[in-house]
Each structure stands twice: as C-alpha cells, then as structure tokens.
Amino acid sequence: MAMAYFNLLLQKCSSFSHIKQLQANLIINGDFHFSSSRTKLLELCAVSSCGDLSYALHIFRYIRYPSTNDWNAIIRGTALSSDPANAVVWYRAMAASNGPHRIDALTCSFALKACARALACSEAIQLHSQLLRFGFNADVLLQTTLLDVYAKVGDLDLAQKLFDEMPRPDIASWNALISGFAQGSRPADAIMMFKRMKEGGNLRPNAVTVQGALLACSQLGTLKEGENVHKYIVEEKLDMNVQVCNVVIDMYAKCGSMDKAYWVFENMRCDKSLITWNTMIMAFAMHGDGYEALDLFKKLGRSGMSPDAVSYLAVLCACNHAGLVEDGLKLFNLMAQRGLEPNIKHYGSMVDLFGRAGRLKEAYDIVNSLPFPNMVLWQTLLGACRTYGDVEMAELASGKLVEMGFISCGDFVLLSNVYAARQRWDDVGRVRDAMRIRDVKKTPGFSYIEIKGKMYKFVYGDQSHSSCREIYAKLDEINLRIKAYGYSADTSNVLHDIGDEDKENALCYHSEKLAVAFGLTCTEEGIPIQVIKNLRICGDCHVVIKLISKIYNREIVVRDRTRFHRFKEGLCSCKDYW
C-alpha cells in the first residue's frame, strides 16, 4: 500500500478496530519496522479518543529501535491518561535507553504537560534544568509550557519570573499567566495583567484571555471588573463564542447578579450548548432559587437537548439548597430511569437532601452502601448530624473519617459542635486534644468586600485597614445591639482552650463579620452589602448577620465556598441549612 494512501486512511480512522486493521496491514507488508507510518499509527493509538493507550504500549514493545517520535507518542499519550505521572517515568526510560532517538523539544513539552496534570513540582524542576542543558530555552512554546506548569503546581512567583524573562511572549504566554493567576491565589493580578494587555496595544486579548479574566472576577466576586470584561467581550464580538458566554453567565452568577446572568443566557448571539444550560441551572442552585432551577431544567428537556449527569447534579443541588426534598428524590430516580449513572457528587447531594430533611438513617444507608469509602460523603453526613444533634451518628461518621485518615479541622469542629449542643464538655475536650495530637491544619479564612469598585480583603482579627478603628467601633455597636435583641454567642464554634469571654471575642473577629461591619460603615442605608468568603460561613456569623439584616434593615449577601446566603429581615435564603 502506498504510504500516502495509508496516511489518508489513518486520518479517517474512527474506531479501535480500524487501528488494528491498519496495524495488521503494516505488519503484512513488512513496513512495521521501517516506516514513519508506524509512528503515526502509534501516535493515533496512544493519543486519540478512538485509541487505547495500553494497546499503544503493547505495539511499542514490538519496536526494536523506537525513534524519537515513537517515544514522544508514548509520553504524550501517558501525559493525557489518568496517570500522567507515569509519563515522567517513560521520559526517564527514554533518556536512559540506547538507540537512534534523541530527546527533542516535543519530548520535553509532553513530559512537562504531564507534570502540570500530575502537579509534580520537583519533576518539573528537573525537566526544566534538562531542557536548559539541551538548549531548548529559546523555544517560545516550551517557555509557555514551563510557565503553565509552574502556575499549575502553585508557584506563581516563578511563573511570573519566567514570563518577565521571556524575550517575546506571545498571546498564549500572556493567557497562560493570566489563567495561572486566576486559577491560583492571585486573581487580582490576573485582572491587572488583562488590563495591561488590553492597554498595551501589542496583543489583543482573545477568547482564551477573557475566560481567564472572567474567572479571576468570579473568584473575587467583583461585579464591576466583571462588567468591564463583559463590555470588552461584546466590543470585540467574542460573545459569538459559546464557551465565552458560558463563562460570562457563570461570572455574573458568582458575582451575585442573577439578573445579568439570566439576561446573557436569554440574549445569546450564538447557539446554547448543554453546558450553557447547566451553568444557568447551577447558578440558580447556588442562589437557592430552587423553583427557577426546576423550571429551567424542564425547559432544557423541551429544547431538544437531553440533560446529562451534570444537568441532574445541578438541579439536585438546587433542590438541596432550596429544601425541595421530594423533588430531589424524584429527580434522582428519574436520572436512573434515563440510564445515567450517578457519581459521587450525586450521592453527596442525596446525603445532603436526606440530611436536611432529618432523615439521617437514609442518608447513612447511602454513604454506607457505596462500594468505595468517600470522605466527602461522611463529612456531609457529619454536617447533618450537627444540625440535628445526633451524637451517635456523628461519632460513627467521624470515626470513619479518622479511620480513613482524612479527618480535617472542619470535621473536628462539627463533631465538637454536636457534643457542645448536648453539653458534653468532656467530649468537647477530647476532640480538642485529638486535634492537637494530630496537628490538624486549618485553612486560613478570609473575606472580600467590594466598595466603590475597590476590593478589600479581611482575615481573622484583621487590624491592617486604614479604617480599622471605625470597623471595630462598628463591631462593638453591633454586639451591643444584637445582645439587646437577645443574642448570645454560640461558642461551640470555637475550639481554642480559652475562657468564655475570649471565646466570644474569638468569634466576633471572624473575617466575614469584619467585612460586614466595614460595609456598614461606608455604604448608604438601603444599599445591599455583598461579601465573599473562601470557606463556609460559620454558624455564629450566620446568626449574627441575620440579626444585623433585621436591626440595621439591610440586605446582606454572603457567598461562601458552596453557595449564596441572602440575609433579609432576619432570615436567610438557605433556611438555616447549609
């Protein structure tokens, strides 16, 4: 068979059996050991969706003298597989093996991609130094790959340094840095870089750039910056891109503006994808708008597209957040009827749903019946035990978490809360000791608030703000007024070994309270206050903010890591279950 014809067939390959037929053909014609077609076949088998990596490895073993490209195909395929770390192992085998091959820029590129996926930092550093030795450092594409790896493994400073040292960063280099900042811990810098790129005039931000910038806005919850990015998108007609529209919708929802999110959803200038629908349903879920989510889910069914597992997750989540237990149960069953396999998140949603309804036994049965133990489900169950004060079930769930070695600070706090609610102080002490012995790490909590287009960040007990004095004065005032209203601090949320008065103080300087107090000092009456928190809102803060919303007659919106809490006239949209 002529090689050109063979390559054409390769391009048309759409199933695994095609691959095998072509392989048989190569072998029969005696071309297997000599032609570049074999390499192409190997690549197809290792990388494409109709291929099969383990079969590619099987073929590879028959190659007497694998070429650079044969090795690259294997490394690339492994980098894309579910075990990307293995690609580094193959890279080392390639470096150690004798033969006609030499490591080239592509080899490095694929191996680095694997490091990014496997979050393998030290391996990335090793590859980086080798790549410098090989003299590939002038390659812009490799520079960008490197930048991306460092950003993804969390070393944003190094990623930025690489960017700064690039002689000619192109649009992908900028995009990699912006997305890196946005996905990592520096969303404000992502927005800054987006603006610099836009105003620099050299390179025009494209569809990829704006997605990074929008993600940064969502992380920060900054509606103002998000609107600016949206404006740019419309000006540049990037809103013809569905993926961009989806991120815009998600951004508006996460910045608290459901009106704008829905407007974009309704007025799209391109066709909606299933992801568009799912994004919007998830947005309603996040805001506790259960009926809107259910309506949209029904509309989706009528639109001609069929809901997938994510659509069901979104609408289950909405039922959950809105307390629509029966609707949720029906949907879960419907999902099975439609032949969709529930995954761990669906089960988590069901556990939450039963938990919310106080049906702890049924929640427990789900967690216990799954073939693989999963810590998130036990944590969810533990949360439900806290709400309903079920000590026995709480001990069972936390016992499982300890057994799995996955118990976290938050879990200990939940268990302690259950004991505290029953005045079982010895047990509270026992939990505290267990935490100390295990040296449980606490993720530091912080909150953002946007005032007149500027973001302010608060950490626990923050005293670094210029208006610090006013903030603490406002907190004192709040404390007086809520106490007059009959509030007493729920100190079961505090685990430190300190006196009662100190416990109250420990609670009253939580970052979300500081942010709300700051919001009260510098906004007009009647203007809603919006706060973004990186962790879940604490129980005491939830009580206090409800009271503030009543006493100060303010609508207060808090986005925590899972959902929105809308406080109004002393009540919260989550109906006190979260």
Partner DNA sequence: ATAGGGTTAG
Residues making contact with DNA (CB under 7 A)? 35-36, 39, 68-69, 72, 104-106, 108-109, 113, 116, 136, 139-145, 148, 169-173, 175-176, 179, 183, 207-209, 211-212, 215, 242-243, 246-247, 250, 273-276, 278-279, 282, 308, 310-311, 314
Nearer to DNA, 176 or 191 (CB): 176
Name all contacts of 376-383 with Cβ < 8 Å and 24+ positions apart: 376/344, 376/348, 377/344, 377/347, 377/348, 377/351, 378/404, 379/408, 379/410, 379/411, 379/414, 380/348, 380/351, 380/352, 380/355, 381/351, 381/355, 382/411, 382/414, 382/415, 383/352, 383/355, 383/414
Task: Please spell the DSSP secondary structure of 73-139, one letter per residue.
Answer: HHHHHHHHSS-THHHHHHHHHHHHS-SS----HHHHHHHHHHHHHHT-HHHHHHHHHHHHHHT-TT-
Nearer to DNA, 89 or 140 (CB): 140
Nearer to DNA, 171 or 325 (CB): 171
Nearer to DNA, 39 or 379 (CB): 39
Nearer to DNA, 292 or 490 (CB): 292
Smallest distance from DNA to CB 398, Å: 30
Smallest distance from DNA to CB 286, Å: 9
Smallest distance from DNA to CB 278, Å: 4
Smallest distance from DNA to CB 243, Å: 4
Nearer to DNA, 207 or 551 (CB): 207
Handedness of CA 35, 37, 41, 46 (dihedral sign): positive
Of the candidates 279, 297, 360, 287, the residue with the CA atom closest to the CA atom of residue 322: 287
Smallest distance from DNA to CB 321, Å: 14
Nearer to DNA, 280 or 556 (CB): 280
Smallest distance from DNA to CB 143, Å: 7
Name all contacts of 370-377 with Cβ < 8 Å and 24+ positions apart: 370/344, 373/400, 373/404, 374/344, 374/347, 375/401, 375/404, 375/406, 376/344, 376/348, 377/344, 377/347, 377/348, 377/351
Smallest distance from DNA to CB 568, Å: 26
Task: Dig out the tokens for 134 from the structure.
Answer: 């090989």
Nearer to DNA, 106 or 414 (CB): 106
Smallest distance from DNA to CB 275, Å: 4
Count Cβ atoms below 10 Å from residue 135 Cβ, excluding itself. 9
